[in-house]
Amino acid sequence: MRSRGDSRRARRWASCTPRPGTLGSPGSAAAIPCTPRTPRGCSNLCNTFEIDLVVVGPEAPLVAGVADQLRHAGIAVFGPGAGAARIEGSKTFAKDVMAAAGVPVARTLETPRAPCVVKADGLAAGKGVFMCRTGEELEAGLRAAAALGETVVVEEWLEGEEVSVLAIVSGEEALPLPAARDHKRIGDGDTGPNTGGMGAFSPVGGVSAGEIVDAVHRPVAAELARRGTPFVGVLFAGLMLTDDGPKVLEFNCRLGDPEAQAILPLLEGDVLEAFAAAAGGSALGGLAVEDRAAVTVVLAAGSYPEGGDHGTAIEGIEDAEAEGALVFHAGTARHEGSLVTHGGRILNVTGLGADVAEARDRAYAAAGLISFDGMRYRRDIALEAARV
């Protein structure tokens, strides 16, 4: 969030989180001690602190219509309204949009049969997808998806490599960002249950983000605009690179973890100005991609993804940052002046380098300096890409 009256180069920022804090000096970030859970609560917060630009992070507020409420209150928002956010909020809706736009997508199976992929139709925090290779896994996947309280969607099993391609979108205009690859399973070698993501790297060799945005994002954005729900924000496509070409697996309507932590550090220019341009309907531009790589490793609680951890002391972040790593907080809090765990995925550690191998070495070296009881992380993030 950007407060009114600040200059373009000297701004004050407010992060709407439950952590205590006050608005800082120009150019600094600060946390406001509140947790607005409704669209009206967010607009009231913006009025109180004179915020004139809001960048919405999570998907649930977008699907609930927080961007609509803020725009109605005259506040610029980088994030889609509820109508366009259905591209993530309902897989059935997304498939309908892609069919109308002529975008290739994984085929829906009328009769479930293994191998296949079972998905909860609505939001599930990245944990509503079940890979079912056998009949037993299919039965378990159907039960688990139904338990989430959503309509169940069953899709064909696709072979290939996954890739995430994000674009800043304003209406029918789209600005491609570097492609990334996520590692969703909890365990090394892609074993165990799906998570919100255990690590990512960018760029992805042999993948043209521009070509995919031309084939996927722009047609989808045009279709949403045709329906009277133009998209403003980050349109995130998860795709499978099959022998028949890329096919869309799902859409997100915002920046997603951990891909964002591997993509944004590679951008050269003022990302906020691009967000503001999209929110204001201005021409997109002003961003370039640096010729280097980033690898992000997620440090998670020992019980993740089934559970999380709260109140455990975290050590070593300053040491990791001193080595040049970027450490992003995902599930942390302050307790009596100390940093403690407060969630499932606790930290994202990003290393930068001339190539993926160098970035990976730096990310893992930094991750090894951080510790908290029960900490777990995958040891094979970007391993295959580093060998190329």
Q: Region 77-82: what's the mean pLDDT?
A: 96
Using 50, 70 and 90 to split pLDDT, how confident is the model at 121? Answer: confident
Give the pLDDT score at 203.
Answer: 97
Whether residue 123 is predicted with pLDDT greater than 60 in this model: the reply is: yes
Tokens of 136: 């037993």
pLDDT tens readout for residues 144-175: 988 887 789 999 999 999 999 999 999 999 99
CA-closest candidate to residue 116, choices 95, 93, 94, 145:
145
Share above pLDDT 90 across residues of the chain, in percent, rounded to a whole number:
73
pLDDT of amino acid 31:
67
Of the ranges 5-14, 71-80, 111-120, 307-316, the best mean pLDDT one: 307-316
pTM attached to this predicted model = 0.87
Q: Which residues contact 382 (CB under 8 A, 6 or more apart)?
A: 181, 199, 200, 201, 295, 356, 359, 360
Q: Is the pLDDT of residue 348 over 90?
A: yes
Q: What is the mean pLDDT of residues 39-55?
A: 82
* Residues 204/250, Cβ–Cβ less than 8 Å: no
Question: What's the pLDDT at 286?
Answer: 83
297's enclosing H/E stretch is strand 293-300
Which band of pLDDT confidence, cut at 50, 70 and 90, is reported for residue 285? confident
Q: How many CA atoms lie within 13 A of 61 on its CB side?
A: 24
Assign domain 107-157 to its CATH superfamily: ATP-grasp fold, A domain (3.30.1490.20)
Residue in this structure with the two tokens 């993509």, named with its chain if needed? 263
Q: Are 128 and 160 in contact (CB under 8 A)?
A: no
| Arithmetic mean of pLDDT over the chain | 89
Mean pLDDT, residues 232-253? 95
Interatomic CA distance for residues 182 and 177, integer angstroms: 15
- CA separation (Å) from 93 to 7, 14, 100, 225? 41, 33, 11, 15
What is the CATH number that goes with domain 2-81? 3.40.50.20
pLDDT: is 329 or 286 the higher one? 329
Pick the CATH number of 292-387 from 3.90.600.10, 3.50.50.60, 3.40.50.970, 3.10.129.10: 3.90.600.10
Q: Residue 127 pLDDT more than 80?
A: no
User: C-alpha distances in angstroms, 354 versus 316, 324, 332, 362, 374?
Assistant: 25, 14, 30, 11, 32
Residue 38 has pLDDT above 50, yes or no: yes
- Domain ranges across the chain: 2-81, 107-157, 292-387
Ramachandran region, residue 147 (left: φ > 0; alpha: ψ -120 to 50; beta: rest): alpha
